[in-house]
Amino acid sequence: MVQDNSESYYAHGKLLISGEYLVLAGAKSLAIPLKYGQSLRVEENHTHFLTWKASTVNGSWFEASYNQSLEVLECDNLLLAQRLADILRKCLDYREDITQLLQNKQVTTHLEFNASWGWGSSSTLISLLAQWLGVNPYLLLQDTFGGSGYDIACATVTSPIVYELKNGIPKNESVKFQPDFHEQIYFIYSGRKQSSQQAIASFNKKEIHPESIQHISSLTDRMLACNDLYEFGHLMEEHEAHISKIVQLSPIKSEHFKDFRGFIKALGAWGGDFIMVASTEPEKYVKDYFSEKGLNTIFKLNELKIG
């Protein structure tokens, strides 16, 4: 019988329901871990110092092999291969013995969702590397992609969380997010990918008043406690109006979906990725409305969230 010496790790994707942008400044934010994520498998391989094979639901993503200095020997996407090498070198800054963990290994990763959806292709990778190599995922995130870390928290939890940075230290609390109207909440892909790093860099230049942080934190609490769809919808609108003033962009409903019978909120960096929709209208109306606008990637809340 052949002994299996492989190691396997898993990280969940995420969606940020409330607190986009202001989570960076310490606002309480509601986030949900997703049923879709990324896996990582490590096996022995003596062909090269390190071999990496990454795939997504759409097939092969990239393949690369590295020498002991983490220089790329072979690859089919130099940009991605070098980006991975940079992240691995950062891990080496934390622990010198990581070289031994990388040596003669073949790593296979699989992303269970479309990398353009904004569900955490980067954060799940950071979490997986941290699990495998025994480093701090929040520190690794800060030293690579940047961000608040809510996505790192989502990667390894099994229920929705309220996340906040307290004096720069990440804190999260497990919560229940299953309102009575959960069947009337939808998540729809906008068809546009936003750069989280660019959005973070732009936000960090802004002066944020404590009142804004308190307001969004209060909205997060009220959204969690809410069991009436109309009230929830108005909280969505209040959240949109407040963030709109800060990022100086129009709320997505007034910009693109003025005639929709329901409520719409941007998720994550405004202008791309997913939107959250709540409506008392039949499911057929919601799907037909967005389908007519070319938006056909639609999920209900319980199709995505864990817990």
Which residues are within 8 A (CB) of 236 and not within 5 positions of it... i.e. 6 or more apart?
A: 223, 263, 264, 265, 276, 278
Would you state the pLDDT for residue 307?
A: 86
Q: Determine what percent of the chain is predicted with pLDDT higher than 90.
A: 86
Pair of tokens at residue 171: 């804190």
| Residues 124, 155 contacting (CB under 8 angstroms) | yes
- Residue 65 CA neighbour count, 13 Å, CB half: 11
Confidence bin at 35 (pLDDT 50/70/90): very high
Confidence bin at 281 (pLDDT 50/70/90): very high
pLDDT greater at residue 208 or residue 41: 41
Would you state the pLDDT for residue 158?
A: 97
CA distance linking residue 78 with residue 300, whole number of Å: 37
In degrees and rounded to multiples of 5, residue 134 shows phi and psi of 70, 45
Confidence bin at 271 (pLDDT 50/70/90): low
| pLDDT tens digits along 43-96 | 999 889 999 999 999 999 999 999 999 999 999 999 999 999 999 999 999 998
pLDDT greater at residue 237 or residue 2: 237
Distances (CA, A) of 36 to 42, 106, 152, 225, 253: 20, 23, 14, 26, 27
Would you state the pLDDT for residue 122?
A: 96
| DSSP category for residue 71 | -
Element (H, E) at 240: helix 229-247
| pLDDT tens digits along 210-251 | 999 999 999 999 999 999 999 999 999 999 999 999 888 889
DSSP percent split of the chain into helix, strand, coil, nearest 5:
40, 25, 35
Would you state the pLDDT for residue 204?
A: 59
Query: Considering only CA atoms, which of 138, 128, 148 is closest in space to residue 269?
Result: 148
CA distance linking residue 234 with residue 220, whole number of Å: 13
Least-confidence region, from 2-6, 89-93, 159-163, 254-258: 2-6
Q: Determine what percent of the chain is predicted with pLDDT higher than 70.
A: 93
Question: Is it the case that residue 202 has pLDDT exceeding 70?
Answer: no
Would you state the pLDDT for residue 4?
A: 72
Pair of tokens at residue 43: 């096996």
| pLDDT tens digits along 149-199 | 999 999 999 999 999 999 999 999 999 999 999 999 999 998 865 555 565
CA distance linking residue 122 with residue 195, whole number of Å: 11
Which residue ranges form the domains of the chain, and what is each CATH number? 7-174 (3.30.230.10), 182-304 (3.30.70.890)
